Structure 1
Amino acid sequence: MLSPLTKLPNNAKVAVIGSGVSGLMFTYYLGKLRPDVTINIFESAKRSGGWINSWQTTDQNGKPIMLERGPRTLRGVSDGTVLIMDTLKDLNQQNIIKCVEKNSEANRKFLLDTNNKLVQVPSSIVSFAKFMINPLSKGLFTGMLGEWFRKPSPSIKNDESVASFIGRRFGNDYIGKNILSAIFHGIYADDINELSAKRTLRDLYALEEKYGSIFKGSWETAQEGKKNKTTGITKSDLSACLKEYQQVFGKKESDLIGLSNNLKKYPMLGLKGGLEEFPKIVRKALEKLPNVNIILGKDATKIVYEKSNDTVSISLGSGEVANGFNHCRITTNPSKMSLLVKSANEKLSQDLDTVKSNTVLLVNYYLPGRDIIEKNLHGFGYLVPKSNNNPQKLLGVIFDSIIEKNFKPFEGTYSHPNSGPVQEYTKLTAMLGGHFLNQWSECTTPSKDIVIKAVKEALMSHLSVSEKDLDAGLWQYTVAERCLPHFFVGYDAWQSSTEQELLNTYAAKVSTGGMGFSKGPGVPDVIVDSFQDAMKLK
């Protein structure tokens, strides 16, 4: 949270609503920092892990396969990733970590151009030359050149949309429509014309505010780094977050620096068995702690501040009331939070409900025995920009089988399941919907048949996959309902005022976690948020 939190008294009682990775890691950190505190996790579903869902099933031949129905990889270098990897090491599970190397074909990424052809995002001189002759590159060279000389906005402290910010800094809207819109489809499933630049482009926005230009700021920052850099590893290599983590948990600084530097070598990481292995491992560790209770299938419906004893009570859908909590941590998305606080503060409930979350439709496809992705298109997958006609309302496609076949051991600990002759197969995940769902008839979630038909049309058009191969594959349809908060223009100001209203309503006994309140959109970001807020309470 942006706002301060009240430290817990001795032998306090804490409630956590939601057992996604945010709720689990908040509990994990707080449980380690304060073993005297009793923590109850309330989860409405019958499983934990939230949107991370590595589904273990069987293929057409009865052989076991895993389909990711949510996030599947982690970016290599970030504070949150260091925390995840170090947690796995603490729990003696570091052998499941795997990585993709920078020169791997799985690190190649593509965009879909206006002719429904895939063009590689530049990663070499050759791919850069090919990209620059593609229509998607229109305005890129002149826009980047002119950015150095464009004056900053006189109202830079105010917020604006991503499209407005990029158009203003680069002098055209082509870069936004052709490139940035695709990237934001992959991260937020949202429209750059509606997203907050201050929130989603925080670092770039700060560079303009401080230096007057993105590239000028990047150059100045790089020069400052060179001046301060010394030979070898120095103490300054740890961020403030990791430094605090190192101190409170008694870690060796050199170990964390080494881990962080090692992670910088890899653009992405994964886990043997799927990304859900992480929340599963954390949950098992929590179940062994005598001060932690995980209660599944119990939906929290109302949170009330009991002024008489300065505690919080929680009403459950079953009719039960759990009370006597010195603190309550809510990790659901803002619109669900609004229902919990409605009886206590109608205005706060309405403010939380203004954050409408995007629903993403996931379609998994699996074909054993063959790789039907052309060799020259092998990569992580492709994203679809706004400039593409896109009748299927497609956000992007992930080439899971390419990623899995290119995973390597991290620190030599992971044994690839295909050690020996590689078994050919094709595994894809198509992402649809997001902000496009508003364009479907009657604004409702389309049926499984309609969505799979749309994906088949896209794969035949974009990848030249035959209808025969598509019909022979295994298909799985998942509706990730309201999974990604919509970060509208002015979101930071909204968050600040909403958090303050929440603190006032519940006498600083309630805090918020999850993607809607973290500093970034990914799994590592919500974990950093969980650690930092647990520190405020310890």
Structure 2
Amino acid sequence: MKPPIPRQTLRSHHLTSKTFARSFWGRKGDEPVESLIPQIAEEWHRGVEQHPDLHRIPPKSVAILGAGVTGLTTAYQLSHFSPETSITVLESSPRTGGWIQSLKIPTSKGSIIFETGPRTLRPWTVNGIITLNLISHLNLQSQILQIPKTSPAAKNRYIYFNKQLNELPSSLSGIFNALRLPVLKGAATSVLTEIFRRKRAKDVEDESVESFLTRRLGANLTNNLASAVFHGIYAGDIANLSADALLHTVYRNERVYGSITRGMLGVQEMVLEDKLLEGVYGSRTAPLLNQLRKASIYSFKGGMETLTRRMEEAVTEECDVTIKTGVTVDGLRYNKEKNEVEVLGYDSPANSFDFVISTLPAWKTANLLPPNTSNSLYETQGVTVMVVNLFYDQPNMTGYSGFGYLIPKSVPLEQNPHRALGVIFDSDAMPEQDERKGTKVTVMLGGHWWDNATSLPSQEDGIRMAREVLNQHLGITAEPTETMASLQMDCIPQYGVGHAGRLRQIHEDLMDKMGGRLVLAGSSYGGVGLNDCVRSARDAAFGVAAGRPMTNLERWAFEEVWIPKDMP
């Protein structure tokens, strides 16, 4: 494997936000770019055709590989950024939506909804605001179900440790009581002494989450608390996951300020590009943000698939987009003379495109490319999770009120023999979604624990295992009324140590060998959450609409510009 290319040595294939701000307005190089934010945000987002380096040359045709949430969002956004572009979405499965699937189960006492993938969203991040802007455009405001910040689902979250559920603190007063819990043993000392610990060596560009947090906060907090949180988000092992990729801000703060604590106490900063996007979309989404001002999380009345179904309807009926399901793409070939990418296996006279946007997982995209085009794509792999949905007629069977609990890697095998990652109390998390009253839970099994498994459980085995988890942890022995198990193969990409360096290498490889005509988007690169995928799709669509060579990895390939968060 080639060593990662340092950011500062890459050839500049794009204009950074800082360079753009200074050059477009003709400001002096030493003038603070922060003062330009209110003025440039909307113009920057529109592509500012007045600037010669940013002149838009709309592509005639674009193919999008994959019709999951990233592919559908890319198609929708591109059709609005560049309405003159012909867009074709190619999906190998018979349905759209990808991992998002909300199954409505009719029963004699009313329907219930089982989610096999993402089930809730958070509104209060830059990427979350971009998702809300999309929801607003799709006119889905009336379909939103929100959970207020004061609800048990927002306030109560648990960690299973030492054969009990440990309630994490949700307020300052709750911290002092929580410090007595086994899962937070030694937490106070670890946090108070973090500021005095030596920062990492300057030549260390990345390390594992486990290594980083153990250095800063000690082994107990890392293994008992942090590993559980990463089980819930990534289903991954913190010993292998990248600190720079997944804890980017605090990892940077250690380098810049010497510790996590100093970074939190100092000037709160964010990336300039994120600040610009927050300004643009925050203004455009103000009514919906106001509607959700008291919300902690939200979903939709018909489940998360409400979003992807509405997007499919919008792109096919309102935009110049063609969606073809059941299409197996065999390969991608760059024609340097025509500056086009040919999609092999797509049986159509017009199978060459100005751009191809792949929203497939990194390893699947790698399989479509000629040998040695970008081997670094293969190094991001996914973990498999079994999602088991269970519904019981009796309400409040868990004995707890809250969002659910996660299980750290430090829990011994005899206390977690089926390698569960966590349990979601769906009845509390989204109580208004079901017509039928009762207790609904989701048990997540596997993840990195199954990396070397020679066989995977059947659906029947998964339901049995989930019931045994609930029996062992919560004492639930009753027979569930409705059950469903789904095995999600390679569903969550794992960002291993050196992830950012690999993205830089991939960017350089694709610019060289695919002419900047193959663009990447999706959960393999900049975040595995639904909000992250929507942001990735927006970035890909915005860049492709301008018609300039790109990979959509530019934000990792080049130096970031950080500014104070509270800058107007």
* TM-score scaled by length of structure 2: 0.81
Q: Distance in 1 between matches of 2:143 and 2:192?
A: 45
Q: What's the Cα RMSD here? A: 2.5
For structure 2, the 5+ residue unaligned runs are: 1-9, 15-53, 546-568
SS in structure 1 of the partner of residue 302 of structure 2: coil
SS in structure 2 of the partner of residue 480 of structure 1: strand
* Segment drifting more, 3-12 vs 67-76: 3-12
Once the two structures are TM-superposed, the CA of residue 11 in structure 1 deviates from its matched residue by: 5.7
Residue 500 of structure 1 corresponds to which residue in structure 2?
508
> What do residues 63-108 of structure 1 show as CA deviations (whole Å, max 9, x unaligned)?
4321000000001202222222222222322101121111101113
Once the two structures are TM-superposed, the CA of residue 215 in structure 1 deviates from its matched residue by: 1.2
Residue 197 of structure 1 corresponds to which residue in structure 2?
243
- Alignment-mate amino acid for residue 386 of structure 1: K
Residue 386 of structure 1 corresponds to which residue in structure 2?
409
Q: Is the 8 A contact 2:228 2:406 kept in 1?
A: yes
Once the two structures are TM-superposed, the CA of residue 54 in structure 1 deviates from its matched residue by: 0.7
SS in structure 1 of the partner of residue 405 of structure 2: strand
SS in structure 1 of the partner of residue 489 of structure 2: strand
For structure 1, the 5+ residue unaligned runs are: 226-235, 247-252, 408-415
Counterpart of 2:309 (choices 253, 274, 280) is 280
Alignment of 1:119-268 (within 5 A): 119-124=166-171, 127-155=174-202, 157-170=204-217, 172-222=218-268, 239-244=275-280, 253=283, 255-257=284-286, 259-260=288-289, 263=292, 265-268=294-297
Once the two structures are TM-superposed, the CA of residue 265 in structure 1 deviates from its matched residue by: 3.4
* Segment drifting more, 362-371 vs 178-187: 362-371
Counterpart of 2:142 (choices 95, 100, 104) is 95
> What do residues 177-215 of structure 1 show as CA deviations (whole Å, max 9, x unaligned)?
110000000000000111000000011101111111111
**Change in 2 beyond 3 A, CA 1:113/1:527:** closer
**Change in 2 beyond 3 A, CA 1:238/1:266:** farther
Once the two structures are TM-superposed, the CA of residue 479 in structure 1 deviates from its matched residue by: 0.8
Q: Does 1:353 align with 2:378?
A: yes
Q: Is the 8 A contact 1:313 1:322 kept in 2?
A: no
Q: Distance in 2 between matches of 1:45 and 1:237?
A: 35
Residue 510 of structure 1 corresponds to which residue in structure 2?
518
**Change in 2 beyond 3 A, CA 1:11/1:510:** closer
**Change in 2 beyond 3 A, CA 1:500/1:322:** farther
Q: Is the 8 A contact 1:52 1:276 kept in 2?
A: yes
**Change in 2 beyond 3 A, CA 1:290/1:100:** closer
Residue 45 of structure 1 corresponds to which residue in structure 2?
93
**Change in 2 beyond 3 A, CA 1:456/1:352:** same
The total of aligned residue pairs comes to 492
Residue 15 of structure 1 corresponds to which residue in structure 2?
63
Q: Is the 8 A contact 1:53 1:275 kept in 2?
A: yes
SS in structure 2 of the partner of residue 347 of structure 1: coil
**Change in 2 beyond 3 A, CA 1:461/1:125:** farther
Q: Is the 8 A contact 1:238 1:257 kept in 2?
A: no
Q: Is the 8 A contact 2:425 2:441 kept in 1?
A: yes
Residue 250 of structure 1 corresponds to which residue in structure 2?
none
* TM-score scaled by length of structure 1: 0.86
Counterpart of 2:532 (choices 525, 529, 536) is 525
Counterpart of 2:366 (choices 311, 323, 338) is 338
Once the two structures are TM-superposed, the CA of residue 364 in structure 1 deviates from its matched residue by: 0.5
**Change in 2 beyond 3 A, CA 1:266/1:174:** same
- Alignment-mate amino acid for residue 39 of structure 1: I
Q: Distance in 2 between matches of 1:464 and 1:473?
A: 17
Counterpart of 1:403 (choices 429, 447, 464) is 429
SS in structure 2 of the partner of residue 308 of structure 1: coil
- Alignment-mate amino acid for residue 441 of structure 2: L
Residue 302 of structure 1 corresponds to which residue in structure 2?
331
Q: Provide runs of 4+ in structure 1 moved above 6 Å.
A: 5-8
**Change in 2 beyond 3 A, CA 1:123/1:528:** same
Percentage of pairs with the same residue: 30
> What do residues 425-468 of structure 1 show as CA deviations (whole Å, max 9, x unaligned)?
1111111111011364x2x22222332222111101111112xx
Counterpart of 1:362 (choices 365, 387, 398) is 387
Q: Distance in 1 between matches of 2:163 and 2:132?
A: 39
Q: Is the 8 A contact 1:77 1:266 kept in 2?
A: no
Q: Does 1:432 align with 2:425?
A: no
Residue 560 of structure 2 corresponds to which residue in structure 1?
none
Q: Distance in 1 between matches of 2:88 and 2:423?
A: 38
Residue 22 of structure 2 corresponds to which residue in structure 1?
none
Q: Distance in 2 between matches of 1:143 and 1:51?
A: 38
- Alignment-mate amino acid for residue 219 of structure 2: D
- Alignment-mate amino acid for residue 493 of structure 2: P
Q: Is the 8 A contact 2:79 2:319 kept in 1?
A: no
**Change in 2 beyond 3 A, CA 1:150/1:53:** same
